Chains A and B, each alone.
Chain A
Amino acid sequence: MSAVIEEHHHDDHHHGPDKGIMRWVLTTNHKDIGTLYLWFSFLMFLTGGVMALGIRAELFQPGLQIVAPEVFNQLTTMHGLIMVFGAVMPAFVGLANWLVPMMIGAPDMALPRMNNYSFWILPFAFGLLLSTFFMDGGAPNYGWTFYAPLSTDYAPPSVTFFIFAVHMMGVSSIMGSINVIVTILNMRAPGMTLMQMPLFVWTWLITAYLLIAVMPVLAGVVTMMLMDIHFATSFFNAAGGGDPVLFQHVFWFFGHPEVYIMILPAFGIVSAIIPTFARKRLFGYDSMVYATASIAFLSFIVWAHHMFTVGIPIAGELYFMYATMLIAVPTGVKVFNWVATMWQGAMTFETPMLFAIAFVILFTIGGFSGLMLAITPVDFQYHDTYFVVAHFHYVLVPGSVFSIMAAVYYWLPKWTGNMYDETLGKTHFWLSFIGVNVTFFPQHFIGLAGMPRRIPDYALQFADWNMVSSCGAFLFGFSQLLFMFIVIKCIRGGKKATDQVWEGAHGLEWTIPSPAPYHTFSTPPTDMKEAHG
């Protein structure tokens, strides 16, 4: 693999990074841009996290004590928007930037300048979104799903800026996804077929396809809102012949694939980590690819399961119930394959593996509560309760977020050249694991007992579990400062990492030095034996 490392070309663009802040502003390097995405995502994670703690502090006890109800609504809305669009999605894009070129033996992303553009739109978009807190009427207060007419007729004036912030995020996501797809389709090292790609690359290929398909639909729905608000159109107004339910259809046509956009890359990460620490090849590679594609396909035809209670016709309710349940099949294939990979493996439990195993178990819990919600008659009871909150936080926090943390621990030695502190990493894992379960598991109980979501005050019978949940939230929240400390400590130094880093790791990224040089694979690798993990 020496050909990979030697930089004997005459080209002047092969030198290292620039000095100073302008390196980050002007960079076209996929590793720099990946780093920018990851730090931005972490900043947003903390921002959205502070809002979550505000929500949990208010809900610690019944009654109104900390924030006014209208502020509470703004906090829930902005928490959701920031976590979905600012924390989870950019984190996965950051990982794609860092890893996809190294995994497929490409010199960089396919369109490097556009890559920089995709990132630098985001600080502007989120700056605009956060600035709505200081506008007349306050920030968006209609929930992250911004149903019309709450987000049109009854919205604060800041809704206009919310709409344009969403447009900017959409432009960023579409360009980022085009870059990922083109990189994967066009930049693979010669000899690497599609079915030899690591699963993280596969899952991102499919995720990027989903993003390009549905972000324009999100742009469409916010544009309809904009027109209804400012130009007297009647998309979502029955008085003019439109229908508020139309909003929900268009929104969830985007929204349901969006849910998988936030979990498919996580599947890819876990499919990389579990084989490494089980010291076995991934069980059922082909079926993993087909399962991912099936989930992506199904994601387009199940959207109205979010709308069982709005009064859709009975045939629609039945269709969307059965179609939704079908998703359990490919998802079950995946969970089975992860477990089968661990079966009789020589397992060790380093921090990434702990997060990955917790992912498999806790994501499955979230999947099961999803199946419960998919049952139409039952959903009439669960709809808009804390049970729903518990469900999607189980798939998003110990699901997506845990996978991102697993990925950071797993590839951090490759990125920095140093091993992170294993003891601190495990401490972070256990604090997070306990915190997350203490926060969200009781929400199943209070939800089933009938506590509605998005409410700052509640009846007394929900008090005990809410208090437990709030304690867990603060434990989980403050544990993330330890995460930040571990990452910074690792960047600043530590035990030197080997090239392979992990004894059982396979894949092209482990054939290059640690830390990964500024430019890798300027000429493509020829040995494909190591290509797929």
Chain B
Amino acid sequence: MSTQDAYEEYYVPHNSKLPIFASLGIFLTLYGMGNMFNEMSAGVDSSFGEIVFLLGGLVMGTTLFFWFAQVIKENHEKLYSNQLNRSFVWGMSWFIFSEVMFFAAFFGALFYVRMFVVGWLGGEGERGPSDMLWPEYTPEWPLMNTPDPERFPGPQAIISPWGLPLVNTILLVTSSVTITIAHHGLNDGNRKKLINWLVATIALGVVFLFVQAYEYYHAYNDLGLTLGSGIFGTTFFMLTGFHGAHVTLGTFMLIIMLFRAIKGHFSKEDCFGFEAAAWYWHFVDVVWLGLFVFVYVLGS
């Protein structure tokens, strides 16, 4: 019976208004976005999609703010047992796993194109249809000319890995170190160290995003490397773009953790919010290393 005596109540809220607003929020956001895209592609001049999208974003953002605030408040009220905190730990781990699989789909597409499609387009393995459509076409990777250059004009040049991408690699790897130093500060009870190194991590993340934005600008305006420049541009921008979106989200998470650290939240025993953000940060870092190797270095 000792286990039962030691059992702490598992907190189950009686009910909550948050999820239904979050459902409405995700619906409005995506419904608005769908309308936006359809209006854009059909050339319709209407702001209906944008309005619904912005409204949805507002509902979603507000709901998430109150949702996290509620969780933090309940945690400070000591409603959460160790067992419940373990649920958060497991939950975050599996969420990151789902993110890994999302990226795996895009990496898989890249590998498939490079391993098989390029050869087949060049007539390897007697693949009839593409051979009949474009008999003269000889592809090589990176795909600077596409089978149908009128519809998909190939890029003039691609981005060398040893310039800005290398800088970005150094930035992100460094940021993984700085966030670990911040974590040590938290564990040592040294709040100043926590805050300073968290600021450094956020700064590195922001600089990374600016470098990435500059690289995109350069690709679009100087190199003719775009989403529409064939499969190289497609995989390049989709992989690095989704990564950039995740860095943005990770930076946002770290900024919130910074505000919480300044407010005096977190202790060595009770800092899962910070740890979850740090895990997420390490995850986007690892994805970047994959991108650097497979998209930039081996891709060019």
Contact = CB atoms under 8 A, between A and B. Distances in A.
Given A113-B18, A164-B33, A212-B98, A250 B230 contact: no
A241 B230 contact: yes
A110 B233 CA distance: 43
Contact of B101 (A26, A161, A217): A217
Nearest to A178: B94
A320 to B, nearest CB: 15
B19 interface: yes
A186 B90 CA distance: 8
B8 to A, nearest CB: 10
B130 A526 contact: no
B109 A250 contact: yes
A29 B14 CA distance: 8
A113 B91 contact: no
Interface in B131-173: 133, 139, 143, 146-148, 151-152
Interface string A189-233: 011000000000000000000001111110111011011011111
A167 B37 CA distance: 15
B266 to A, nearest CB: 21
B26 A234 contact: no
A486 B170 CA distance: 66
Given A164-B31, A243-B112, A124 B94 contact: no
Nearest to B233: A233
B203 interface: no
A108 B10 contact: yes
A215 B15 CA distance: 28
Interface string B1-14: 10110010110111
A239 B133 CA distance: 9
Contact of A168 (B9, B30, B129): B30
Given A107-B12, A185-B90, A241 B98 contact: no
B120 to A, nearest CB: 8
B200 interface: no
A231 B227 CA distance: 7
Contacts of B94: 177-178, 181-182, 212
Contacts of B127: 311
Contacts of B234: 227, 233-235, 240, 242
Contacts of A157: 38, 41-42
A121 interface: yes
Nearest to B90: A182
Interface size class of B (residues with CB under 8 A): 35 or more
A292 B1 CA distance: 34
A253 interface: yes
B23 A28 contact: no
A515 interface: no
Contact of A212 (B4, B20, B38, B101): B101
Contact of B12 (A112, A214, A220, A523): A112
Contacts of B195: none
Interface string A434-477: 00000000000000000000000000000000000000000000
Contacts of B33: 164
B69 interface: no
A111 interface: yes
Which secondary structure characterizes the binding site on chain B?
A: helix
Contacts of B120: 243
B87 A182 contact: yes
A174 interface: yes
Interface string B55-80: 00000000000010000000000000
B146 A240 contact: yes
Contact of B31 (A111, A114, A128, A523): A128
Given A13-B12, A107-B12, A235 B109 contact: yes
B41 A214 contact: no
B273 to A, nearest CB: 15
A117 interface: yes
B17 A249 contact: no
Interface in B81-140: 83-84, 86-87, 90-91, 94-95, 97-99, 101-102, 104-106, 108-109, 112-113, 116-118, 120-121, 125, 127, 129-130, 133, 139
Contacts of B152: 232, 234, 237, 239-241
Given A216-B98, A241-B121, A124 B26 contact: yes
Contact of B113 (A13, A246, A253, A526): A246
Contacts of B18: 113, 117
B27 interface: yes
A15 B238 CA distance: 50
B9 A178 contact: no
Contacts of A174: 95, 98
Contacts of B26: 121, 124, 168, 171
Nearest to A163: B34
A214 B30 contact: no
A215 B34 contact: no
Given A160-B37, A182-B91, A241-B117, A117 B105 contact: no
Contacts of A13: 12-14
B19 A523 contact: no
Nearest to A165: B30
Contacts of A160: 34, 37-38
A11 B9 contact: yes
B41 A246 contact: no
A241 B19 contact: no
A112 B116 CA distance: 46
A26 B27 contact: no
A215 B101 CA distance: 8
B93 to A, nearest CB: 9
B104 A181 contact: no
A28 B95 CA distance: 21
Given A107-B10, A217-B102, 5 more contacts: A114-B91, A120-B19, A168-B26, A230-B41, A250-B109
Q: Give 10 nearest A-B pairs by CB, closest first.
A: A220-B105, A232-B228, A241-B231, A239-B148, A240-B152, A117-B19, A216-B102, A26-B15, A124-B27, A164-B30
Interface of A: 3, 9, 11-13, 15, 18, 22-23, 25-29, 106-108, 110-114, 116-117, 120-121, 124-125, 128, 157, 160-161, 163-164, 167-168, 171, 174, 177-179, 181-182, 185-187, 190-191, 212-217, 219-221, 223-224, 226-227, 229-235, 237-243, 246, 249-250, 253, 311, 313, 519, 522-524, 526
30 contacts: A12-B14, A22-B15, A26-B16, A26-B17, A28-B16, A108-B12, A110-B87, A112-B13, A116-B19, A116-B20, A121-B23, A121-B27, A128-B27, A128-B31, A161-B34, A174-B95, A178-B95, A181-B94, A190-B3, A190-B4, A216-B104, A217-B101, A224-B109, A233-B234, A233-B238, A239-B148, A239-B152, A241-B146, A526-B1, A526-B4
